[in-house]
Structure 1
Amino acid sequence: MSTRDEGGSGVSDDFKKAFRHHPAGVALLVTLHDGVPHGLAASSVASVSADPPMLSFSVTRTGASARALVAAEEVSVVLLGEHQARLAVDFATRGAPRFTREQGWHRSRSVLELDGAPLTLHTRTTCVVPAGASWLVLAEVTRIHHGEPAAPLVYHDRTYRTLGPPPVAEQDLHRT
């Protein structure tokens, strides 16, 4: 077991390694900014409040997609299913195809929709906070689109994964 001193680059490296071992659901953050679609893959989406329904996400300050997401009034948070790993890779890779018809994208009203997405949370940005080299965005959920149910796509240790069968039966979790 080892520890590092505060402020050193070792702490930053250890921090990144620590979160590689923390599995998280995968979402696409998408918006239309000045009529142009922008988006990226994220594992930083978190529930903040149920009343009113709010969520948060963070994006690094580099790149046009992050700037467009932060500048947008509305952002759609597309929660991906296990069958959408290739799409997550595309949205995490600079220069890869995004928003193609083959991927299932279309415009509905003034927002982007993804066919086959288990859930899409449409949000209105309420606050953007600079946080180190990132922005933390708070957004109120204004509408939820329920698609076809699917097991979630999870990101763990730089790999997209699916959840296997539970290690403990559901009824065993509730024993007193």
Structure 2
Amino acid sequence: MTATADAFKAAFRRHPAGVAIVVGEGEAGPVGITASSVASVSAAPPMLSFSLARGGASAGVIAGSERIAVMLLTTGHKGLAESFARSGGDRFTPDQPWRHSPDALPVVEGAAAVLHGSVTRVVPAGDSWLVLVTVDDVVLGEAGDPLVYHDRRWWTPAELREEALAAPDAEA
């Protein structure tokens, strides 16, 4: 049996994931993406990873950034996540909840956590890059419900529970 790209994507649509915005800085200023691929890699030293589609407009800038900020989003950031997920979506506008961090990167106000670090390694992986970041600062925000991406939609944990309760019994 051979895994096709469509089957592979369909499988991961069934896997809910937390949502983050990843920000880097290029010559023209900050760039950012919405990512559901952020994962903890190591606690000692603190490291995280995320993937970037190589063809993405911001991918090269983020992968080449000296400093990275990763913001773990709460349900109140749905609009911001949508904007950063769309090609050509509004980014870093005055009506979005941004402030500048001590390392001069824009960070989202009200994020559950902001992780600052340096790109340690960029690994080619198929049509993507796997980016490893050594984290040197963690700023914890207010605890809140995480924003979740599942089956091509943004969800709150409560909405996912309601959807699961409303679904017919799963096939055996």
Please report the TM-score for the alignment, with normalisation by the length of structure 2. Answer: 0.87
Aligned-pair identity in percent equals 48
For the 8 Å contact 2:111–2:141, the answer to whether it is kept is: yes
Bigger Rg over Cα: 1
Match of 2:39? 46
- Aligned counterparts, 1:79-118, within 5 A: 79-109=72-102, 110-118=104-112
Match of 1:174? none
Match of 1:19? 12
AA partner of residue 43 (structure 2) = A
The verdict on how the C-alpha distance between 1:14 and 1:166 changes in structure 2, with shifts beyond 3 A counting, is: closer
For the 8 Å contact 1:32–1:112, the answer to whether it is kept is: no
Deviations 1:132-160 (A, max 9, x none): 00000111111011222211000000000
CA–CA distance in structure 2, aligned partners of residues 144 and 61 of structure 1: 27
For the 8 Å contact 2:30–2:105, the answer to whether it is kept is: no
The verdict on how the C-alpha distance between 1:165 and 1:127 changes in structure 2, with shifts beyond 3 A counting, is: same
Flag structure 2 segments of 5+ consecutive residues without an equivalent.
162-172
Runs of 4+ deviating beyond 6 Å: none
SS of the residue 1:38 aligns to:
strand
How many residues are aligned here? 160
Please report the TM-score for the alignment, with normalisation by the length of structure 1. Answer: 0.85
The verdict on how the C-alpha distance between 1:37 and 1:166 changes in structure 2, with shifts beyond 3 A counting, is: closer
Comparing 108-117 with 68-77, greater Cα deviation is found at 108-117
Deviations 1:78-118 (A, max 9, x none): 10001111111000011121111211113233221221112
Flag structure 1 segments of 5+ consecutive residues without an equivalent.
168-176
